[in-house]
């Protein structure tokens, strides 16, 4: 099942600023809501998103309970060399998703 | 005589105008999309940011997964959904000869599962059923809704129309009073739309997830303090049929995004 969608350009010119969009399937349960019986629903959120470009971290986000479900994270980076972009989402209850996207730089 | 003959058409026009005010003229029909903010439209317009696509991708995986005692996948009979399912959702709810009444897209998926795949039906509003419905309906995106009514389906269309125009609930409101008569107004700060179901199943920001037209209808019924019909109830499907027929010719947006 799809757990995350990454949209990044497959190729770019050296020095070009590229836009990357990511979408992760996650309920982002805040931990503040209660069931109809009054029991607290435990928090279950993504805590951190990181993007690495050939092993070097280029972008990082800390997420908090106010972030909506299925968070869309869009950001830019500079295309420097051919290689891979890797994306990782880490969260509560052992949640961890990794995606990679190859990029060719000319 | 001269004055009367000149007045008569004017009077007729006014009377006709009053009669037609109840229904929205074809030229003034607007999708819920047109009532949305620029920001919400942007979410729907970009597949890279439309969270409904998560369900569509799940649906694609389910389409190719074998299920039931026959161990057949949807794809084993229907092939590539991108060609075989194109325009199919535009015809739903459609008349089902076996049950002799209209069925909606979710019910059709379940009929196929139980009769052909010999699998358990999927629960209404389950992630799997919504994903399959979204995947199938996605193949009709951009195509006009095309509900054909014949002698067999006419009574169900009339029943749906009757539900749409009947006052109900503690607020004693009919669907038509908001969605035909006051669609240019606002309710608690939010636009009242024309209730054209162009993008279901759709991602509603309020729901933080994907939901069916029946979920939306049940929400509206609760809103007028009426008792909701259960999922799959004939009354709901008839109402769906009427609403889709009422939106005939409008373009399908699945998976749409709404506030």
Dihedral sign for Cα B86, B106, B39, A48, please.
negative
- Our CA-based measurement puts residue A6 at a distance from the nearest CA of chain B, in whole angstroms, of 7
Tokens of B136: 């199938």
Cβ contact (<8 Å) for B48 and A21? yes
**Strand pairing partners for B96?**
B101
Q: Cβ of B48 and A28 within 8 Å? A: no
Output A50 or B8, whichever has higher pLDDT: A50
Whether this prediction's pTM lies above 0.95 is answered by no
Q: HSE on the CB side for B173, CA within 13 Å? A: 16
Would the pLDDT of B19 be above 50?
no
Residue A2: predicted pLDDT: 58
Question: Confidence band (pLDDT; 50, 70, 90) for B18?
Answer: very low
Domain edges within chain B: 30-48+148-258, 53-138
Count contacts between A and B (CB, < 8 Å). Answer: 36
Q: Which residues contact A7 (CB under 8 A, 6 or more apart)?
A: A20, A21, A22, B48
* Mean pLDDT over each residue of chain B, to the nearest integer: 92
**Encoding tokens for residue A101?**
């996207």
DSSP B246: H
Say whether pLDDT at A47 is over 80: yes
Residues 6+ apart with CB under 8 A from A71: A23, A24, A26, A28, A46, A49, A63
Q: Which residues of B touch A1 (CB under 8 A)?
A: 57-58, 61
DSSP summary character for residue B201: S
- Report how far residue B104's alpha carbon sits from residue B124's, in angstroms, rounded to the nearest whole number: 12
Structural domain for A66, as ranges: 4-105
Q: What integer pLDDT is reported at residue B258 of this predicted model?
A: 97
User: Same CATH fold, B53-138 and B30-48+148-258?
Assistant: yes
Backbone angles phi, psi at B50, to 5 degrees: -80, 110
Residue in the structure block whose two tokens are 């799809």: A2
pLDDT tens by residue, B121-135: 999 999 999 999 999
State the pLDDT at residue B20.
38
Chain A residue with the nearest C-alpha to that of B209: A69
d(CA B162, CA A34): 39
- pLDDT at site B255: 97
**Is the Cβ–Cβ distance between B197 and B240 less than 8 Å?**
yes
| Mean local confidence (pLDDT), A8-16 | 96
> What's the CATH number of domain B53-138, 1.10.3720.10, 3.10.180.10, 1.10.260.40, 1.10.760.10?
1.10.760.10
Percent of chain B with pLDDT over 90: 89
Task: Check CB contact under 8 Å for B61 and A5.
Answer: no
For residue A97, the distance in angstroms to the closest alpha carbon of chain B comes to 14
Contact between B61 and A2 using a beta-carbon 8 Å cutoff: yes
B208 falls in which pLDDT band (50, 70, 90)?
very high
Question: For B21-40, what is the mean pLDDT?
Answer: 90
Predicted confidence (pLDDT) at residue B171 exceeds the cutoff of 90 = yes
pLDDT for the residue B13: 40
Residue B26 has pLDDT above 90, yes or no: no
Residue B161, Cβ neighbours under 10 Å: how many? 18
Give the DSSP letter string of B118-180.
--PPPPTT-HHHHHHHHHHHHTTTTSBP-----TTTHHHHHHHHHHHHS-BTTTTB-HHHHHT
Q: Which helix (H) or strand (E) segment is B249 a member of?
A: none
Q: Examine the predicted complex and report whether its ipTM is higher than 0.85.
A: yes
Residue listed under structure tokens 């699998």: B119
Q: Within a 10 A sphere around the Cβ of B248, how many other Cβ atoms?
A: 16
Assigned CATH class of B30-48+148-258: mainly alpha
- Catalytically active residues of B, by annotation: 220
Which string of b and e fits B3-14 if b means at least 16 CB within 10 Å? eeeeeeeeeeee
| pLDDT, tens digit, 9 for 90 and up, residues B173-198 | 999 999 999 999 999 899 999 999 99
Q: Decide if pLDDT at B66 tops 70.
A: yes
CA distance B147 to B150: 10
pLDDT at residue B1 greater than cutoff 50 = no
Residue A78 pairs in a beta bridge with A17
Confidence of residue B43 (pLDDT cuts 50, 70, 90): very high
Instruction: State the pLDDT confidence band at B16, using cuts at 50, 70 and 90.
Output: very low
pLDDT at B11: 42
Number of neighbours of residue B241 by Cβ within 10 angstroms: 27
In chain A, the number of structural domains is 1
Q: What per-residue confidence (pLDDT) applies to B167?
A: 97
- What percentage of residues in chain A have a pLDDT greater than 90? 97
Q: Which of A21, A69, A72 sits opposite B209 (nearest CB)?
A: A69
Cβ of A69 and B53 within 8 Å? no
pLDDT of the residue at A3:
87
Average pLDDT of the segment spanning B135-146: 97
| Furthest-apart CA atoms within chain A: distance in Å | 60
Quote the CA–CA distance of B178 and B184 in Å, as a whole number. 9
- In sequence order, the β-bridge partners of residue B59 are none
CA B73/CA B178 separation, integer angstroms? 43
Smallest Cβ distance to B54: which of A2, A68, A74?
Answer: A2
DSSP A22-57: EEE----B-S--B-TTSPBPPPB-EEEEEEEETTEE
């Amino acid at each position: 099942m799809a757990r995350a969608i990454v949209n990044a350009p497959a190729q770019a010119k050296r020095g070009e600023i590229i836009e990357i969009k990511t979408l992760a399937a996650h309920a982002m349960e805040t931990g503040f809501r209660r069931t109809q019986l009054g029991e607290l629903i435990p928090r279950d959120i993504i805590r951190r998103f990181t993007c690495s470009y050939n092993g070097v971290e280029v972008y990082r986000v800390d997420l908090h309970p106010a972030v909506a479900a299925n968070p869309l994270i869009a950001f830019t980076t500079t295309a420097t060399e051919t290689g891979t972009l890797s994306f990782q989402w880490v969260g509560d209850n052992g949640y961890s998703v990794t995606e990679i996207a190859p990029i060719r730089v000319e | 005589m001269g004055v009367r003959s000149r007045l008569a058409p004017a009077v007729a026009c006014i009377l006709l105008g009053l009669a037609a005010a109840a229904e929205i003229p074809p030229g003034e029909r607007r999708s819920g999309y047109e009532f949305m903010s620029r920001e919400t439209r942007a979410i729907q317009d970009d597949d890279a940011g439309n969270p409904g696509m998560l369900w569509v991708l799940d649906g694609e995986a389910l389409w190719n997964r074998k299920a039931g005692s026959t161990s057949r996948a949807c794809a084993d009979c229907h092939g590539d959904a991108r060609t075989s399912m194109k325009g199919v959702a535009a015809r739903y709810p459609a008349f089902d000869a076996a049950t002799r009444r209209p069925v909606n897209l979710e019910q059709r998926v379940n009929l196929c599962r139980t009769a052909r795949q010999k699998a358990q039906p999927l629960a209404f509003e389950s992630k799997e059923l919504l994903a399959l419905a979204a995947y199938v309906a996605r193949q009709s995106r951009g195509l006009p809704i095309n509900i054909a009514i014949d002698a067999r389906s006419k009574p169900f269309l009339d029943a749906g129309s009757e539900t749409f125009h009947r006052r109900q609930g503690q607020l004693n409101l009919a669907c038509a009073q908001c969605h035909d008569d006051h669609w240019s107004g606002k309710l608690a700060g939010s636009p009242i739309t024309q209730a054209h179901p162009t993008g279901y199943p759709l991602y509603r920001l309020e729901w933080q997830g994907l939901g069916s037209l029946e979920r939306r209808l049940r929400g509206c019924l609760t809103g007028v303090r009426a008792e909701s019909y259960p999922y799959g109830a004939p009354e709901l499907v008839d109402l769906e049929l009427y609403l889709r027929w009422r939106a005939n010719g409008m373009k399908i947006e699945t998976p749409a995004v709404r506030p």
